[in-house]
Amino acid sequence: MIQNPEIFILLSGSHAPAWEQVQTLQRHETLAAGAATLAFPRWSVGTSRTTKLEHYRKNRYFRRSHISEAKFRVIIRHFALDLPASKIAKLSGVSRPTINQLLLKLRIRIAQICEASSPFSGAIEVDESYFGARRVRGKKGRGARGKTIVFGILERQGEVYTEIVPDASKKQLQAAIRGQVELDSIIHSDGWRGYNGLVDMGYKKHFRVHHGEHEFACGNCHINGIESFWSSAKRRLAKFNGVPRHTFHLHLKECEFRFNYREENLYDRILTLLKENPL
C-alpha cells in the first residue's frame, strides 16, 4: 500500500507506475521509516552522556559537522536514489538550508573526482551538445543563443568526460581532445568542421558519420553512445526546472559521476570516497 503519494508522483512521473517503480517506492518508504531509528539509536541503561555526545559528533565522512554519521548516511542514501533536496530534507528531518549546503559540498567533491580521471584510450566517441532553455527565437543549431556548450568524450564500454567550452571551434575542441585522449585511440565523431585536423595532431584513426547527409551509423562508426548520455543528462537536469549558471558545472559533473559508476552501488561508492577524503 502506497502511503506517500507525493513521493510516488515524483519518482514515477505518472499515475500508473510499473511494478518496478512501486517496488522502488516501497524501498524509499522503508528507508524513511527507519531514518529516525538510524539517527536516534536506543541507548542501553547506563550509557554515559559522553558516549552519546561522541556518537552524534563523530562523522568520518564530514569533518566538523553537527550532523551525526548515522543521519549523514541516511542523507547520502537518499542522494544516491537521486531524490531532490526538498524530499531529502523531509525524509531525513534536516532543514532544507542545511541539506542545500551539504549537497553543494558533495557536488564539489564529485566534480573534483571527475576532473582527476585518467586519459581515455581505445574506441572513443566525441561530440558537443547545447544545454539551456528550450529553443528561443534567433540563432538555431550550433551557437544557439542562450545555450551552454558542453563537449563530451566517451570511451565505449567505459566512462564519459564532460567539459564546458566557450564555443565549438576547432581550437577549443582539439584542445579538449588533446588533454583527455591518448594518441593511439580510435576517434569517432560527426562531420562538424571543429574536428578537422585530428589526423595532423597525431590521431591516425579518425572516423566520421555525416549527420547532415542523414548518416547516423556506418558499421562500427557512430556516436550513439555519447548522444545517449546527452539525452540522459538533459532528462535528469530537466527535473530541477532550471539550474543556475553558477552551479550548472556541478550538476553536469554529477550526471557524469552517476554515469561512470552506473554499474556500482552508488551509496557505497560515495561513502568509500568520502571515507578516504572527507568533506
The answer for residues whose C-beta is within 8 angstroms of residue 57's C-beta and 6 or more apart is 66, 68
| Alpha-carbon separation of residue 240 from 82, 122, 157, 234, 243 (angstroms) | 11, 35, 29, 10, 6
Residue 217: per-residue pLDDT = 75
Tell whether 90 and 129 lie within a shared domain.
no
Tell whether 139 and 208 lie within a shared domain.
yes
Residue 19: per-residue pLDDT = 40
CA 97, CA 113: separation in Å to the nearest integer?
25
CA 39, CA 138: separation in Å to the nearest integer?
53
Judge if pTM exceeds 0.75: yes
Task: Please check whether residue 76 is in contact with residue 69, taking contact to mean a CB–CB distance below 8 angstroms.
Answer: no
Tell whether 144 and 255 lie within a shared domain.
yes
Tell whether 70 and 188 lie within a shared domain.
no
CA 194, CA 190: separation in Å to the nearest integer?
10
Tell whether 245 and 149 lie within a shared domain.
yes
* Dihedral sign, Cα of residue 257, residue 258, residue 260, residue 265: positive
Long-range contacts of residues 18-24, Cβ cutoff 8 Å, at least 24 apart: 24/81
Residue 189: per-residue pLDDT = 95
- In a domain, residue 195? The reply is yes
Strands 186-190 and 123-131 turn out to be parallel
For helices 85-92 and 69-80, angle between their N-to-C axes, nearest 10 degrees: 140
Residue 272: per-residue pLDDT = 97
Residue 13: per-residue pLDDT = 39
Tell whether 218 and 143 lie within a shared domain.
yes
Tell whether 145 and 239 lie within a shared domain.
yes
Q: Using alpha carbons only, how large is the chain's radius of gyration in Å?
A: 22
Q: Which residues constitute the domain of residue 225?
A: 123-266
Strands 205-209 and 186-190 turn out to be parallel
Show the 3-state SS of 78-143.
Answer: HHHCCCCHHHHHHHHCCCHHHHHHHHHHHHHHHHHHHHCCCCECCEEEEEEEEECCCCCCCCCCCC
- In a domain, residue 152? The reply is yes
Tell whether 89 and 147 lie within a shared domain.
no
Residue 58: per-residue pLDDT = 80
Domain count along the chain: 2
- In a domain, residue 116? The reply is no
* Grid coordinates of 272: 568509500
* Residue 186 φ/ψ, nearest 5 degrees: -105, 115
Tell whether 55 and 146 lie within a shared domain.
no
**What CATH code is carried by the domain that includes residue 161?**
3.30.420.10
Task: Please check whether residue 114 is in contact with residue 121, taking contact to mean a CB–CB distance below 8 angstroms.
Answer: no
- In a domain, residue 275? The reply is no
Tell whether 24 and 129 lie within a shared domain.
no
For the chain (279 residues), the mean pLDDT of every run of 10, in chain order, is 40 40 48 45 61 65 92 98 96 96 97 92 96 67 76 97 96 95 96 94 93 74 95 94 92 98 97 95
Tell whether 25 and 131 lie within a shared domain.
no
- In a domain, residue 112? The reply is no
Tell whether 132 and 262 lie within a shared domain.
yes
